[in-house]
Chains A and B, each alone.
Chain A
């Protein structure tokens, strides 16, 4: 078990007077693969915003370890409509992950450019460097965004439904890639998903939410729990998109 990176103590999330989710208690340690499960509207996106420091919690506490710090989570957001026909080269996009390293400096330096190149190599998209993002396949696009996320932070990744819209083959490749990053590079992965199958196959920990915290613990414990079995029964363990 690695060092503690995020600790969430009795946190409640929501808008000013409207609590969406309460009673959140969980810990993320270095090297964990946490899968956050929940139905649509269960407050997943609110939790993401809280973890990314975009929206403060109403009460309770969310603590980040020093090495994670604020805004140092590599984030893989869901694709937006804007991006689908966006004229940008792969390199431009990957490099934009280095933005938080620049501060007020208007240019990327050699180090940041090299970082972008290294990440493209790691995700095997170097040959696409000059290609236009909108002409890539869905799986390639996700790799590009993943490389960008890795440029922003190398310790922790937060993935928001990373396989939405991918065909089964690309979905599988994506999951394997994430698992590899987790296994070989020791990158902590937090994946938000409603794909039970993948959660069971890859995650080390499960956080199941639905207005409140339904379950948090290791995967084997989850599979034995009532919540887990109920959810498994409903989704049948298949990848329903």
Chain B
């Protein structure tokens, strides 16, 4: 055991491990904060759709050979978030069908583009690391680290500033609207932040596993806690701990980072489920 600890201490001296830990924990924090709202507003499917869009955008960025992928992925994902929200409200195309259409479409087109035009020699590697994250979080470049930190801080700040408003429109959009809260504007804000988080989280767990990162901690917290505030705090704690544990386990035992984090989240979910089950 002490041997493992020593190894861990040694690993933590590597700058890329430190970056991964800082960025990973921040991403986990962001995603869990918004996760509660997304789950309660039945918006989690938007998160899922957006993550696939982000994959498609990543493919386009790869084809165009842009040095910083974020410059392309970010605007496309944010734009899709806005569009998805619009179609979700519009009844002509059913919201879930629209999301399914966009997400699967983006996935297919992304893979096609990567295969046809990719300049990289290792296509399957690219696809795999975009879908599952692989070790992306450990191979971040310094500008990427700073971009992640800045975006995470923005997300956290926005969430804290608008906390009460987000609560109001999550609980009862009609009432909020009736009392003059610009619910549509806040919905848009939530969608945009979700897009930011998804782009961020792609580094950590890859685009296929992002939904898990958003949904599991909040679902776990909701099993046990009874007020909105405590649910949010609890899901943030769960998410951060699981991300930290996941990263540590994956560097020690060479497991894939994303899946390890999600596995930790699932484990915690079952623990909380058990607790709530026993309480009844």
Q: Is B177 an interface residue (CB 8 A)?
A: yes
Complex contacts, A71 vs chain B, CB 8 Å? 178-180
Closest chain A residue to B222, Cβ basis: A87
- Which residues of B from 135 to 183 have beta carbons under 8 Å from A? 160-165, 167-168, 170-172, 174-181
| Distance of B91 from chain A, by nearest CB (Å) | 12
| Distance of A169 from chain B, by nearest CB (Å) | 25
With A80-B172, A88-B227 as contacts: A54 and B177 at CB distance below 8 Å: yes
Closest chain B residue to A73, Cβ basis: B178
Contact of B174 among A77, A92, A132, A152 (CB under 8 A): A77
With A54-B178, A77-B175, A80-B172 as contacts: A88 and B164 at CB distance below 8 Å: no
- Which residues of A from 77 to 128 have beta carbons under 8 Å from B? 77, 80, 82-83, 86-89, 92-93, 95-97, 99-100, 102, 106-108
With A86-B40, A107-B164 as contacts: A135 and B226 at CB distance below 8 Å: yes
Q: Please report the total number of B residues contacting A with Cβ < 8 Å.
A: 30
Cβ contact within 8 Å between A77 and B172: yes
Instruction: Give the distance in Å from the alpha carbon of A82 to the alpha carbon of B36 in the complex.
Output: 12
Q: Is A148 an interface residue (CB 8 A)?
A: yes
Q: Is A52 an interface residue (CB 8 A)?
A: yes
Q: Is B213 an interface residue (CB 8 A)?
A: no
With A87-B228, A88-B227 as contacts: A106 and B178 at CB distance below 8 Å: no
Complex contacts, A53 vs chain B, CB 8 Å? 178
Q: Is A75 an interface residue (CB 8 A)?
A: yes
| Distance of B179 from chain A, by nearest CB (Å) | 4
Q: Please report the total number of A residues contacting B with Cβ < 8 Å.
A: 37
Instruction: Scan A36-76; emit 1 where CB is below 8 A from any B CB, else 0.
Output: 00000000000000001110000000000000001111010
Quick one: which of A70, A96, A135, A158 has the most chain B CB within 10 A?
A96
Q: Is A180 an interface residue (CB 8 A)?
A: no
Q: Is B225 an interface residue (CB 8 A)?
A: yes
Closest chain B residue to A89, Cβ basis: B227
Instruction: Give the distance in Å from the alpha carbon of A71 to the alpha carbon of B226 in the complex.
Output: 30
Cβ contact within 8 Å between A82 and B178: no
Q: Is A183 an interface residue (CB 8 A)?
A: no
| Distance of A54 from chain B, by nearest CB (Å) | 6
Instruction: Give the distance in Å from the alpha carbon of A54 to the alpha carbon of B178 in the complex.
Output: 7
Instruction: Give the distance in Å from the alpha carbon of A96 to the alpha carbon of B163 in the complex.
Output: 11
Cβ contact within 8 Å between B179 and A106: no
Q: Is A131 an interface residue (CB 8 A)?
A: yes
Cβ contact within 8 Å between A82 and B41: yes
| Distance of B59 from chain A, by nearest CB (Å) | 35
Complex contacts, A106 vs chain B, CB 8 Å? 160-164
Complex contacts, B225 vs chain A, CB 8 Å? 87
- Which residues of B from 32 to 84 have beta carbons under 8 Å from A? 40-42
Cβ contact within 8 Å between B172 and A99: no
| Distance of B100 from chain A, by nearest CB (Å) | 21
Cβ contact within 8 Å between A108 and B164: yes
Cβ contact within 8 Å between A99 and B178: no
Cβ contact within 8 Å between B227 and A82: no
Closest chain B residue to A101, Cβ basis: B179
Cβ contact within 8 Å between B162 and A99: no
Q: Is B86 an interface residue (CB 8 A)?
A: no
Q: Is B229 an interface residue (CB 8 A)?
A: yes
| Distance of B242 from chain A, by nearest CB (Å) | 20
Instruction: Scan B217-246; emit 1 where CB is below 8 A from any A CB, else 0.
Output: 000011001111101000000000000000
Closest chain B residue to A134, Cβ basis: B226
Complex contacts, A135 vs chain B, CB 8 Å? 226
Instruction: Give the distance in Å from the alpha carbon of A210 to the alpha carbon of B181 in the complex.
Output: 31
Instruction: Give the distance in Å from the alpha carbon of A153 to the alpha carbon of B180 in the complex.
Output: 12
Complex contacts, A149 vs chain B, CB 8 Å? 175
Instruction: Scan B192-232; emit 1 where CB is below 8 A from any A CB, else 0.
Output: 00000000000000000000000000000110011111010
With A86-B40, A89-B227, A93-B171 as contacts: A152 and B179 at CB distance below 8 Å: yes
Complex contacts, B170 vs chain A, CB 8 Å? 82
| Distance of A9 from chain B, by nearest CB (Å) | 22
| Distance of A205 from chain B, by nearest CB (Å) | 22
What are 13 residue pairs bridging A and B, where the CB atoms are less than 8 Å apart in the complex?
A52-B177, A53-B178, A72-B179, A82-B171, A86-B228, A87-B221, A88-B228, A100-B179, A106-B161, A107-B164, A108-B164, A148-B175, A153-B179
- Contacts from A to B (Cβ < 8 Å): 52-54, 70-73, 75, 77, 80, 82-83, 86-89, 92-93, 95-97, 99-100, 102, 106-108, 130-132, 135, 145, 148-149, 152-153, 158
Other than the given A82-B170, A100-B180, A131-B226, 12 more pairs (CB < 8 A) read A82-B40, A82-B171, A86-B40, A87-B40, A87-B226, A88-B227, A89-B226, A89-B228, A95-B164, A102-B164, A106-B160, A149-B175
The 7 closest A-B pairs by CB, nearest first: A71-B180, A132-B226, A89-B227, A75-B178, A100-B179, A52-B178, A88-B228
